[in-house]
């Protein structure tokens, strides 16, 4: 099944998009995270039908909302086949979703293997109107070259940097550099793994445009998402609660 984790506009705290995350509700082992089964799915070739199913489900999940964007993680195996373009197109068409409502999250490892082919596939995906995000940004070794060569729209700062984010220190300097890079290249930047109000305050001060993490919500079912989005006002701003305590620190 798919769970959805909201991604928030850092300034307004409105849900801009949701990331679709695969979970396997195993009869004996309970709820399994992708790490526990994606390797097996890749070995058995099941990753391709799984990926296609994820695209269809994700598009269906947001089709009934006005402007909610859904992002789906793409596996390297899926990205190796040009058929992904047709699968994305079918998922959009079947759910009458304009391309701009879908975003794909790619990691740089999937660009390593065959740069030329990946670039062509990315170009075709962009032609459908969808957005492309570089996931886990900062963890690889030549992200900058990829940013130049491939048509990304957004960087997702890996949560390892956000985990260490304090008002002073190395993590903030690195994140500021990433944000500067994003601005200079005209890319949106999402901070993943935001867990504390202090981290949110720092990201706000540094003008990171989108945030995601346990502070705002864990991945949730489609039904829980509907409840969240039907709420009359944006969920209570965690910063508003914490502001008095720590704003002087930033």
* CA end-to-end span of the chain: 40
Output the furthest CA–CA distance in the chain (Å, rounded): 54
Q: Is 190 in the site for ligand G (CB under 6 A)?
A: no
Residues in CB range of 145: below 8 A, 6 or more apart: none
How far apart CA 122 and CA 132 sit, in angstroms, is: 8
Residue from 18, 57, 105, 125 touching Mn ion (CB under 5 A): that is 105
Least spacing, CB of residue 93 vs ligand G, in Å: 26
208 binds, among Mn ion, ligand G, none (CB under 5 to 8 A by kind): none
- Residue 69 or 201 having the CB closest to Mn ion: 69
Residue from 13, 106, 193, 208 touching ligand G (CB under 6 A): that is 193
CA nearest neighbour of 162 among 137, 134, 188, 187 = 137
110 binds, among ligand G, Mn ion, none (CB under 5 to 8 A by kind): none
Q: Is 73 in the site for Mn ion (CB under 5 A)?
A: yes
Least spacing, CB of residue 86 vs Mn ion, in Å: 23
Paired tokens of 12: 């307004």
Residue from 31, 33, 120, 249 touching ligand G (CB under 6 A): that is 33
Mark the segment that binds ligand G (CB under 6 A) among 89-97, 112-120, 191-199, 201-209: 191-199
Least spacing, CB of residue 192 vs Mn ion, in Å: 7
How far apart CA 224 and CA 207 sit, in angstroms, is: 29
DSSP alpha helix (H) spans, the chain: 38-44, 47-62, 76-79, 83-94, 109-112, 115-127, 143-149, 159-163, 170-185, 197-205, 222-230, 238-246
| Cβ neighbours of 220 (radius 10 Å) | 17
192 binds, among ligand G, Mn ion, none (CB under 5 to 8 A by kind): ligand G
How far apart CA 106 and CA 137 sit, in angstroms, is: 10
Helix, strand, or coil (residue 67): coil
Q: Is 206 in the site for ligand G (CB under 6 A)?
A: no
Least spacing, CB of residue 168 vs ligand G, in Å: 22
219 binds, among Mn ion, ligand G, none (CB under 5 to 8 A by kind): ligand G
Least spacing, CB of residue 116 vs ligand G, in Å: 25
Could you say which residues in the range 100-139 bind ligand G, by CB under 6 A? 135-136
* Residues contributing to the site for Mn ion (CB under 5 A): 73, 105, 135
* Residues contributing to the site for ligand G (CB under 6 A): 5, 21, 33, 73, 135-136, 159, 192-195, 213-214, 219
């Amino acid at each position: 099944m798919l769970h959805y984790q909201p991604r928030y506009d850092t300034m307004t705290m409105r849900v801009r998009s949701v990331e679709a995350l695969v979970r396997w509700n195993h009869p004996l082992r309970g709820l399994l995270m992708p790490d526990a089964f994606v390797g097996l799915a890749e070995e058995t070739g099941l990753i391709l039908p799984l990926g296609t199913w994820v695209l269809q489900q994700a598009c269906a999940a947001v089709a009934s909302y006005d402007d909610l964007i859904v992002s789906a993680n793409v596996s390297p195996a899926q990205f190796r086949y040009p058929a992904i373009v047709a699968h994305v197109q079918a998922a959009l068409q079947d759910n009458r979703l304009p391309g701009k409502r879908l975003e794909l999250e790619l990691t740089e490892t999937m660009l390593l293997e065959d740069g030329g082919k990946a670039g062509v596939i990315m170009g075709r995906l962009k032609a459908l109107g969808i957005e492309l995000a570089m996931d886990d940004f900062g963890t690889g070794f030549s992200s900058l070259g990829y940013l130049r060569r491939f048509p990304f729209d957004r960087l997702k700062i890996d949560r390892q940097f956000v985990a260490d984010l304090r008002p002073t220190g190395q993590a903030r300097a690195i994140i500021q550099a990433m944000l500067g890079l994003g601005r200079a290249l005209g890319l949106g930047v999402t901070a993943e793994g935001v867990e504390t109000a202090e981290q949110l305050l720092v990201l706000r001060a540094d003008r990171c445009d989108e945030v995601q993490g346990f502070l705002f919500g864990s991945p949730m079912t489609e039904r829980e998402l509907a409840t969240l989005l039907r709420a009359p006002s944006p969920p209570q701003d965690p910063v508003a609660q914490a502001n008095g305590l720590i704003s002087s620190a930033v």
